[in-house]
């Protein structure tokens, strides 16, 4: 399969600290690392490592951070031919604080991501399409309108979108906070809705009725950054391969769990072999 991802590309600056700061508080003793990130790029890499072919549509700055932000995508053979280098805006940046339990706080400076316009999109998007909301909503809406096949939208970060988008999506993925933001409108279309709950697992709904659920393997979380994006890439690959919804949720939960055991977003994403191995170990212990 060949998935088109229209989404954000960032460079993440990750400070692992003894604790997360409260408002107005300074926390010292942190260790800084830099990793490629951005929800769009994250989902593209996750899907590629799990067996899909992926083309990414996005935008970076014409600056020193761009090559670093794209490095793992290029190394894993994601097609970045539709990524534009913008001379007027910097590469997007995420400032991330992580505590010893893997919890995080994230502030994003979108930069060139907010200059991905409908004009950059293909007139017709063939094959499966995967989207998030770190781009202008009008661009996301335009991409959905040009899609001819399966559409998955991760409604994050939560913000208002049209009823048309909600009804057109074949798969919507949200966490509990985002699900509360959108309310019953999530279930008005005919597509599936997945609500993720971190270590408590994920539930799949069809027209508001729970049809499948799964829990992740027990792991020691180090950094949850990008684990949700990894889940989204994994559930798309699994469903597009024709997995049973329950098996697809289990597969995606395992991929996200592995990602949480390693620092950084993209560097933490597992291969297909790693996901299958942890699922085999889980089955053997049940």
What residues are labeled active site?
Answer: 229
The count of C-alpha atoms lying within 13 angstroms of the C-alpha of 69, restricted to the half-sphere facing its C-beta, is 33
Q: What six digits make up the tokens of 241?
A: 């391969």
Question: Which residue from 78, 141, 136, 77 is spatially nearest to 112, judged by alpha carbons?
Answer: 136
* Residues forming a β-bridge with 92: 10
CB 118 within 8 A of CB 135: no
Hunting for tokens 């408002």 — which residue is that? Answer: 23
Full strand arrangement of the beta sheet holding 129-131: 79-86, 53-61, 2-6, 129-131, 151-154, 171-175, 192-196, 202-206, 209-214
- CA–CA–CA angle 53, 56, 61 (5° rounding): 150
Please state, as a whole number, how many other Cβ atoms lie within 10 Å of the Cβ of residue 200: 12
Cα 281 from chain centre: 26
Provide the 8-state DSSP code for 194.
E
Please state, as a whole number, how many other Cβ atoms lie within 10 Å of the Cβ of residue 203: 18
- Cα separations (Å) of 47 from 52, 87, 190, 205, 271? 6, 29, 24, 22, 9
Q: What secondary structure does DSSP assign to 161-174, as a single string?
A: --HHHHHH-SEEEE
- Cα separations (Å) of 75 from 53, 79, 203? 13, 10, 33
């Amino acid at each position: 399969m060949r998935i088109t991802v229209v989404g954000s590309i960032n460079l993440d600056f990750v400070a692992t600290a003894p604790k997360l700061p409260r408002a107005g508080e300074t926390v010292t003793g942190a260790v800084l690392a830099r990793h490629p990130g951005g929800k769009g790029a994250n989902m593209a890499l996750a899907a590629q490592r799990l067996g899909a072919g992926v083309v990414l549509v996005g935008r970076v700055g014409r600056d020193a951070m761009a090559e670093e932000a794209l490095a793992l995508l290029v190394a894993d053979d994601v097609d970045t031919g539709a990524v534009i280098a913008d001379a007027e805006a910097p590469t997007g940046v995420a400032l991330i604080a992580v505590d010893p339990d893997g919890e995080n706080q994230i502030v994003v400076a979108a930069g060139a991501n907010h200059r991905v316009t409908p004009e950059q999109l293909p007139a017709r998007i063939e094959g499966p399409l995967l989207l998030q909301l770190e781009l202008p909503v009008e661009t996301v809406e335009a991409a959905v309108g040009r899609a001819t096949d399966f559409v998955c939208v991760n409604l994050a970060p939560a913000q208002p979108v049209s009823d048309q988008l909600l009804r057109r999506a074949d798969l919507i993925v949200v966490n509990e906070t985002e699900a509360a933001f959108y309310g019953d409108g999530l279930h008005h279309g005919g597509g599936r809705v997945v609500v993720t709950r971190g270590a408590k697992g994920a539930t799949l709904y069809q027209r508001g009725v729970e049809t499948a659920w799964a829990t992740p393997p027990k792991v020691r979380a180090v950094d949850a950054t990008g684990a949700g994006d990894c889940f989204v890439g994994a559930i798309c690959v699994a469903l597009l391969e024709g997995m049973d919804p329950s098996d697809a949720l289990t597969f995606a939960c395992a991929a996200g769990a592995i990602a949480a055991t390693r620092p950084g977003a993209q560097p933490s994403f597992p291969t297909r072999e790693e996901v299958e191995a942890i699922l085999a170990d889980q089955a053997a212990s049940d």
